[in-house]
Structure 1
């Protein structure tokens, strides 16, 4: 009998990037890198573990914007072309390094990985890897949850109706793609403020994930800290992030990914090789990471030694064993002071595994296999399974919080990006006004109905938390500003045309083709009232 549980939760999200005008190739590469380096490796490890009979549980948030891109035929075709280019480049690298055996061996490794990705993506899942994740959900190995439509930062959205639109659109997208209702909800950036839970409850969501201090500073203070969920007064369970597991994996100084034997992310042939040789494989000819990296971290200096995959694999197995050792001691202690089995909640960005930390999928595979075969102190579990096991939990309201720097809203609201919000707030108020005014429309093919639906898409896309984050972190700032302004411009132009009853059909049609996210959207979602009369479910105790 296990003494407790580990809930591994991966958050897979990317902003919606789909350009029909040739712009944004560099940003589209975010998706292609993540598919090759994270999503396909995750599917492969689940396949191997399942065939071995390993009884594992994982929870995976696939954000609605990411799911929409993975489900898009244009982006699927572009990804295949991207893979073919990588395969060609890796074959050139094998030839170029024919006289340096160790580097040639690494080039052959990448060639194999790219060809494996092509097989899994194109032949196994017919260009749609969502089918793979859906398969493992049906096999009861994976619990897929959803998030806000475009990962909007919910506490900074002005009105309840606009928050509801983000939540409801995300849930509707999940239902369309996965054919069932989601049990859990990933709050974008784990950002919560009281009142959001009422909207989640209204939609039938059972639980969400909170930052550590969001639970620890809940009112009243939780008896079991983050090691058991609390129910909000509206009946939704909140699971708090565990500090220890976060530190072991995330910490820049103490976390596993910084080990000197692991692959060095920042040394990539997209920067290292002669420009004329590599430019064909760079989007718009701009130097970037192409995913072929020959060095290990080595140390904190610029000197880097060649990467040794066998040595790194051994280190991943060692780190998986260390993680289990620490969870055993943590859970043994917690089980002695709690009247129920504790749950250690370990949420991570999915892209850490494979993209940023090349050995991350290996570590995860070792971890899940060792948990199953090598110890009996704890097992993996999903949050909904824990709620099924322990339906009675303390009622407490989590504190306003996020998992960002300093724990609140500073990353998404500061001197670099605060100008965005007055425009976003003005747009959402206009959307609500027009949704109320045109609530009588019934014909969805009516051009005004279509225009209002596209306005809703443009507003949701402008609200993506990614743009404010990118502006703050000073990475692709020009692109983030362009996307924010472009969606707001589209929204305002459509709004003026609707109010002036003078619609530009070509302008609308072009937007519908390029920004085609959420085909099922209905602008009337901005006219919905929230059910405030949510009754606490039977079995919830104070």
Structure 2
């Protein structure tokens, strides 16, 4: 086994994103997705990061930040916890007891405490003036495009610039903007300024969607590093996955390491263990009381399993880095990137697992490093030296191409978005600048979420209805010409449009 300083380090990257659902529907789709993510993932994770998470790399999409900063959001979230989750747990507990299932009732009463703690936490954040968005301020290091558009599918350089500039401006204004005057209030919707945490150019490509023609535009926007999925290009498990690449025209391309990630995020990964809580089986009011093995959920046994899985993850990562460092002849860098919502929401025990990983890393001698810091220590290999052929367009979709967002089933959405982009940013629109309303509706149309949900059959008619609604609103805005009025239909979306 190599010495810890020789083997290299692990970067844990959590990509935090929620589609723009604020104000667009409730059950079964819409704002309730956001409320559940806040209650079961974001607030518990932020408590962990506040205690000890300085070395975890957190990306936060501008479209999620837009929603967390929306006026009245905390009140609506608190009302959901008090009026919906508290009541649905009460009804399900009573129903289980009437059916003679005391063990289910007891588990539901325990689980209801998760939502009570979330309520107490959000109320405390509101009292101290930070709010939901402010809780992210010490941790949100990487940003993304304005509305999580798959950038290789955009039709114009102007469209890419709009997504990049709006997203980066949002992040900088909220998380590393100028400090407010002494004694003065923060700007509306802004988290407390944090000059010590200034953005360092880290940018999460939505869906890891990368094409070489994007690199100059990324560099122009100030992006210095992106994560890419080159599993099919470099080979799964290849040591080439363990070093950053230098693009010819732009930022560092940092491969995510599926040999590490799939220990966590795959059909056979840790969350599938029989002791963990089943995400897919519900009570009448959409609560969960069963384990993956079909037994009544045992939280103590599940936490113990999370510790065992954390120890296994760290041991396997050390072995991966040791082998990689030996092959590379220098310390290796493994990037384990997952959607933040996996932790606590989809995988109920995921935050317990993450904390145990931090414990085990210290015990076993694994360095966990913030990705921005790690990239200062690992020399980049020029893309031309690492690859025998030109770099293709890649994503982390299934398969690792654009088909999740442009295959025949969703091609109409892709073509509609491109046609609207051309009308809005090119042709006659170039002579008459589009209104802010038109730009905001275009950004909403371009979100990756609508095609993803259709392809994965996740939300019934909701994504098509949302795409059609934003397209119609964009058509109306274009017909109105340069009218600067904004009727607020897209609420708090993209308030940092480029001027």
Q: TM-score, normalised by structure 1?
A: 0.80
CA RMSD of aligned residues (A): 2.4
Q: Is the 8 A contact 2:331 2:378 kept in 1?
A: no
Residue 168 of structure 1 is matched in structure 2 by 165
* Match 1:360 to one of 350, 363, 367: 350
Between the aligned partners of 1:159 and 1:368, the Cα distance in structure 2 is 43
Residue 339 of structure 1 is matched in structure 2 by 329
Describe the shift of the 1:183–1:190 C-alpha distance in structure 2 as closer, same or farther (beyond 3 A). Answer: same
Between the aligned partners of 2:126 and 2:215, the Cα distance in structure 1 is 36
Residue 255 of structure 1 is matched in structure 2 by 269
Deviation at 1:357, TM superposition (A): 0.8
Single out whichever of 72-81 and 33-42 deviates more from structure 2.
72-81
Residue 442 of structure 1 is matched in structure 2 by none
What CA deviation, in whole Å up to 9, does each residue of 1:367-399 have, x standing for no partner?
111112x112x2111221122223554344743
Single out whichever of 413-422 and 170-179 deviates more from structure 2.
413-422
Q: Is the 8 A contact 2:275 2:298 kept in 1?
A: yes
Gap runs ≥5 in structure 2: 177-197, 385-389
Residue 382 of structure 2 is matched in structure 1 by 394
Between the aligned partners of 2:325 and 2:122, the Cα distance in structure 1 is 43
Deviation at 1:204, TM superposition (A): 1.5
SS where residue 73 of structure 2 aligns?
Answer: helix
Rg comparison, structure with higher value: 1
Q: Is the 8 A contact 2:282 2:288 kept in 1?
A: yes
SS where residue 429 of structure 1 aligns?
Answer: helix
> What is the number of equivalent residue pairs in this alignment?
462
Q: Is the 8 A contact 2:13 2:371 kept in 1?
A: no
Residue 323 of structure 1 is matched in structure 2 by 313
Describe the shift of the 1:431–1:123 C-alpha distance in structure 2 as closer, same or farther (beyond 3 A). Answer: same
What CA deviation, in whole Å up to 9, does each residue of 1:73-112 have, x standing for no partner?
2332211111112123334555555675533331232222
SS where residue 13 of structure 2 aligns?
Answer: strand
Describe the shift of the 1:509–1:334 C-alpha distance in structure 2 as closer, same or farther (beyond 3 A). Answer: closer
Deviation at 1:362, TM superposition (A): 0.6
Residue 76 of structure 1 is matched in structure 2 by 74
Between the aligned partners of 1:488 and 1:514, the Cα distance in structure 2 is 12
Q: Is the 8 A contact 1:17 1:24 kept in 2?
A: no
Residue 494 of structure 2 is matched in structure 1 by 518
Q: Is the 8 A contact 2:244 2:378 kept in 1?
A: no
Q: Is the 8 A contact 2:234 2:241 kept in 1?
A: yes
Gap runs ≥5 in structure 1: 51-55, 138-142, 218-222, 279-288, 299-303, 440-450, 525-542
Describe the shift of the 1:401–1:430 C-alpha distance in structure 2 as closer, same or farther (beyond 3 A). Answer: same
What CA deviation, in whole Å up to 9, does each residue of 1:481-508 have, x standing for no partner?
111111111111121221xx7x5x9xx5
Deviation at 1:159, TM superposition (A): 0.9
Describe the shift of the 1:100–1:424 C-alpha distance in structure 2 as closer, same or farther (beyond 3 A). Answer: closer
Describe the shift of the 1:118–1:182 C-alpha distance in structure 2 as closer, same or farther (beyond 3 A). Answer: farther
Between the aligned partners of 2:248 and 2:220, the Cα distance in structure 1 is 13
Deviation at 1:72, TM superposition (A): 0.9
Q: Is the 8 A contact 1:215 1:226 kept in 2?
A: no
SS where residue 9 of structure 1 aligns?
Answer: strand
Between the aligned partners of 1:89 and 1:62, the Cα distance in structure 2 is 31
Describe the shift of the 1:165–1:413 C-alpha distance in structure 2 as closer, same or farther (beyond 3 A). Answer: same
Residue 298 of structure 2 is matched in structure 1 by 308
* Match 1:26 to one of 19, 25, 29: 29
